[in-house]
Amino acid sequence: MAILVTGGAGYIGSHTCIELLNAGYEIIILDNFYNSKRESLNRIKELSGKDFKFYECDIRDRKGLDNIFENEKIEAVIHFAGLKAVGESCRKPLEYYDNNIGGTVTLCQAMRDHGVKKIVFSSSATVYGMNNISPLREDMQTGGTTNPYGTTKYMIEIILQDLYKADNEWSIALLRYFNPIGAHKSGRIGEDPNGIPNNLMPYISQVAIGKLPCLNIFGNDYDTPDGTGVRDYIHVVDLALGHVKAVEKVMGCKELNIYNLGTGTGYSVLDIVNAFKKASGVDVPYKIAPRRDGDIATCYSDPSKALKELGWKAERGLEEMCEDTWRWQKNNPDGYPDD
């Protein structure tokens, strides 16, 4: 029996596939390469020393999904596939609702019709909206999202909760990621954003490597210790290991559970810049720019539920996150080679 990993060629998916293979799981990857390259699959094989099946397929393609479920013995699905750029989602809301929500509904219908009722879903801290006070706990109210991307995550959580209410043969884990950064120790896989990065860490590493001239820090007048935004950065390998625990959980119960995957510690933008400079030995020029729409001052998790119920805890600190990001960036200045 295998785990189907949708979006397994992407940033978090590729790291998770390695940890699943290391833990002895058989995996099948599905991806349409909208935001990833085939080379990441070669590197998953190289780093794990293991082989796996791959289907080039879109999660909105019901026939393509049926073909996979008919031909493979799938026990559970880890569902990463989706679009994730906040700014783009404001310009193309229909594409985001279609891909993320339409795709998830089609995937779940195919799963149900083939008797596969175990799913781990990639949600986000963005579902906590603007009004909760950190540390954020899973039982806090969600909603009030500020962009279509965030709204798709919020709506998918509701859809999966309704699905569980209607049929409690399902086993569902909603994982709310905080801010994943870092890369595999080898420097062979990492985050490979398209165009100019939106998120802080890939932007910093492209400034450090000389591809971008200067970091814009979006606001230094927040109510935080140094005035810049505070977030809960988590090493992507810790996040990947959280999925191994979550998949064990869904395979052993028929419940819907929600878990924060974060470290519980907040760092400011300036903390990250300084840690990155130290880890890389390279300067990161920056200037203070206006606040970015939709940003909040502080967002960090209470990760204690995942520790209690999954036995999972993030182990890697900020220094390691920066060193590993830098190794990936230095060794792959232009990301993965084109297919």
Residues 6+ apart with CB under 8 A from 139: none
Which one of ligand NAD, ligand UD1, none interacts with residue 269, CB within 5 to 8 A by kind?
Answer: ligand UD1
* 171 sits near ligand UD1 (criterion: CB under 6 A): no
Ramachandran angles phi, psi of 282, nearest 5° = -120, 145
Which one of ligand NAD, ligand UD1, none interacts with residue 294, CB within 5 to 8 A by kind?
Answer: ligand UD1
* 295 sits near ligand UD1 (criterion: CB under 6 A): yes
Q: Report the residue number, 121 or 203, with the smaller CB distance to ligand UD1.
A: 203
* 161 sits near ligand UD1 (criterion: CB under 6 A): no
With CB under 6 A, what is the number of residues at the site for ligand UD1? 22
Classify strands 2-6 and 74-79 as parallel, antiparallel or unpaired. Answer: parallel
The set of catalytic residues is 149
Task: Give the full edge-to-edge strand order of the sheet including 171-177.
Answer: 53-56, 26-31, 2-6, 74-79, 118-124, 171-177, 256-261
* 262 sits near ligand NAD (criterion: CB under 6 A): no
Among 28, 74, 86, 183, binds ligand UD1 (CB under 6 A): 86
Q: Is 301 exposed, middle or buried (0-12, 13-18, 19+ CB in 10 A)?
A: buried
| Measured distance CA(111)–CA(118) in Å, rounded | 9
Residue 233 CA, chain-centre distance (Å), reads: 12
Q: Of 10-29, which residues contact ligand NAD (CB under 6 A)? A: 10-13
* 325 sits near ligand UD1 (criterion: CB under 6 A): no
* 180 sits near ligand NAD (criterion: CB under 6 A): yes
Among 79, 84, 243, 245, binds ligand UD1 (CB under 6 A): 84
Which one of ligand UD1, ligand NAD, none interacts with residue 136, CB within 5 to 8 A by kind?
Answer: none
| Least CB distance to ligand NAD at residue 171 (A) | 19
- Contact stretch for ligand NAD (CB under 6 A) within 5-13, 18-26, 200-208, 324-332: 5-13
Let me know: does 87 contact 148? Beta carbons within 8 Å.
no
- Contact stretch for ligand UD1 (CB under 6 A) within 31-39, 100-108, 198-206, 236-244: 198-206
Among 80, 96, 154, 203, binds ligand UD1 (CB under 6 A): 203
Strands (DSSP E) contained in 10-103 are: 26-31, 53-56, 74-79
> Within 10 A of 1 (CB to CB), how many other CB atoms are there?
11
Let me know: does 313 contact 241? Beta carbons within 8 Å.
no
Let me know: does 1 contact 26? Beta carbons within 8 Å.
yes
Nearest alpha-carbon partner for 143 in 133, 135, 132, 185: 132
Among 2, 33, 211, 282, binds ligand NAD (CB under 6 A): 33
Residue position matching structure tokens 């998949």: 247
Among 25, 55, 80, 128, binds ligand NAD (CB under 6 A): 80
Q: Of 98-137, which residues contact ligand UD1 (CB under 6 A)? A: 124, 126
Q: Which residues bind ligand UD1 (CB under 6 A)?
A: 84, 86, 124, 126, 149-150, 179, 198-200, 203, 215-218, 229, 231, 269, 292, 294-295, 299
